[in-house]
Amino acid sequence: GDRYPGSRFLDHFLRYQDDPNAKILLLLGEVGGIDEYDVIEAVKAGRITKPIIAWCIGTCASYFATEVQFGHAGAQARGDMETARAKNKAMREAGFFVPESFDKLPDVINQVYTQLVEEGEIVETPEDPTPQVPVDYTWAKKLGMVRKPANFISSIADDRGDELKYAGVTISEVFKQDLGVGGVLSLLWFRRRLPDYCTKFIEMILMVTADHGPAVSGAHNTIVTARAGKDLISALCSGLLTIGPRFGGALDDAAKQFSEAHDHGLSPRDFVEKMKKTNQLIMGIGHRIKSLANPDQRVVIIKEYAKKHFQSSPILDFALEVEQVTTRKRANLILNVDGCIAVCFVDMIRSCGAFTQEECEDLMTFGCLNGMFVLGRSIGFIGHYID
């Protein structure tokens, strides 16, 4: 009954007639239009030979005193021939299987299907297993079967299973393998387990950066805040907020400066001259009282460990050559503990085989070296607060 139909019943029925896999044709028409009669003519002409089950809706129209439009398209009979009753009668007379009423349509489908199976026209095949219907989330939540997912996800820790996991390693396995603080840090910061010599080096960084006396700015602020009667967290934050390029926050920049100079093939002397011409400080170089003749034992410990355990140490070697250049100008322009930690850390992550070159660059960009200083020095700041 549509005014501008895109296709007609006959178009599809002829296609299904020619499809050997189609055994029964089902037509559901409506009041209005004459498309059903086209199908009737095709059956009478022998063009369609497969059994057709059909029903035309709108038989209730005769119960209304006036013409009634049906459906979203406003189907309406424009003559007796277009009424649902007339169409159903014509289709039944043409040999279609037409039920007495719409509610009998399933019975007719079952009847025709069973008959074709008995005649061998249809060979039944086993159906696929019925898929399990998922439980409605709202219903399951009320029953306590599920909980609302967290708004935050993490790639480093997971508490959803039987036990806590760090980067996929269960907490019981952490203790069973004696991973230590360095191992836990490698799992949570780098999302992988590093070789034992690397985790030991991480622990050494935390140990040598734990404190440097009460006179440095961070410890001083922590002590003053504690004496003012503030709580531990406030005192700790007061100390941490002093960390920057002039106190403890030079590790990332030192790692970047030395590694870039080495990677670009600069000689130690050219590197020093370049920094001088551009009026830049060389991060990680210089100490107020220490010198080559009076070395900082923290630097000695870090340097010797790297030389002994790392696969290679090109950035450390480059930094030591730079130190030879800078100390000619002034004895205290040595590779300090920040610089030594920084260059050794770069050598460690580049040579341990756990990271790609891009990942190594990202780690330095993300500030993880300064993070290690923050973590280590927090130990000392808390100590000063308690003291």
Burial class (CB in 10 A: 0-12, 13-18, 19+), 131: exposed
CB 179 within 8 A of CB 203: no
Q: What are phi and psi of 157, to 5 degrees?
A: -145, 150
Establish whether 72 is a catalytic residue: yes
The overall longest dimension of the chain from CA atoms, in Å, is: 117
H helix intervals, the chain: 9-17, 35-44, 84-93, 105-118, 137-142, 171-176, 180-190, 196-208, 217-227, 232-240, 251-263, 268-277, 297-309, 314-326, 337-351, 357-366, 368-386
Complete DSSP assignment for 285-317: B--SS--SSS--HHHHHHHHHHHHHSS--HHHH
Q: Which of 12, 72, 262, 264 is catalytic?
A: 72
Q: What is the DSSP letter of 242?
A: T
CB 275 within 8 A of CB 282: yes
Indicate which residues carry an active-site annotation.
72
